[in-house]
Amino acid sequence: MRNQWGKELHFPEDVYYSEELLWVKIEPENKLRVGISDLGVKAVKKLIYIRIKSRVGDQLKKGDLIGMVDTSKMVWEIIAPVSGVVVAVNETLAQGNPTPLMSDPYGEGWLIQLERTSETESELQQLRRGGEAETKKWIEEQVEAIIPLQQVS
Confidence of residue 152 (pLDDT cuts 50, 70, 90): very low
Identity of the amino acid at 126: Q
Name which of 24, 121, 31 is nearest 81 in CA terms. 24
18 SS3 class: coil
Segment 26-67, tens digit of pLDDT: 999 999 999 998 888 877 778 889 999 999 999 999 999 999
Confidence of residue 3 (pLDDT cuts 50, 70, 90): very low
pLDDT, position 123: 96
Higher pLDDT, 74 or 4: 74
Confidence of residue 85 (pLDDT cuts 50, 70, 90): very high
Q: Does residue 20 sit within a domain?
A: yes
Q: Does residue 150 sit within a domain?
A: no
Q: Does residue 140 sit within a domain?
A: no
The stretch 3-16 carries a mean pLDDT of 69
Q: Does residue 46 sit within a domain?
A: yes
Q: How far is 96 from 78, CA to CA, in rounded Å? A: 14
Domain count of the fold of the chain: 1
* 151: pLDDT strictly greater than 60: no
Instruction: Specify the range with the lowest mean pLDDT, choosing from 1-10, 38-47, 56-65, 83-92.
Output: 1-10
The boundaries of the domain holding residue 49 are 2-131
Segment 102-121, tens digit of pLDDT: 889 999 999 999 999 999 99
Q: Does residue 137 sit within a domain?
A: no
Q: How far is 6 from 26, CA to CA, in rounded Å? A: 31
Q: Does residue 94 sit within a domain?
A: yes
Asked if 117 and 85 touch (Cβ cutoff 8 Å), the reply is yes
pLDDT, position 6: 54
Identity of the amino acid at 60: L
Asked if 90 and 98 touch (Cβ cutoff 8 Å), the reply is no
Describe the strand order of the beta sheet including 22-27 as a list of residue ranges. Answer: 59-60, 84-89, 112-115, 31-36, 22-27, 16-17, 128-129
CATH assignment at residue 43: 2.40.50.100
Asked if 63 and 42 touch (Cβ cutoff 8 Å), the reply is no
Q: Does residue 147 sit within a domain?
A: no
Q: Does residue 89 sit within a domain?
A: yes
Q: How far is 11 from 122, CA to CA, in rounded Å? A: 23
- In this structure, the number of other CB atoms found within 10 A of the CB of residue 143 comes to 20
Task: Enter the pTM of the model.
Answer: 0.84
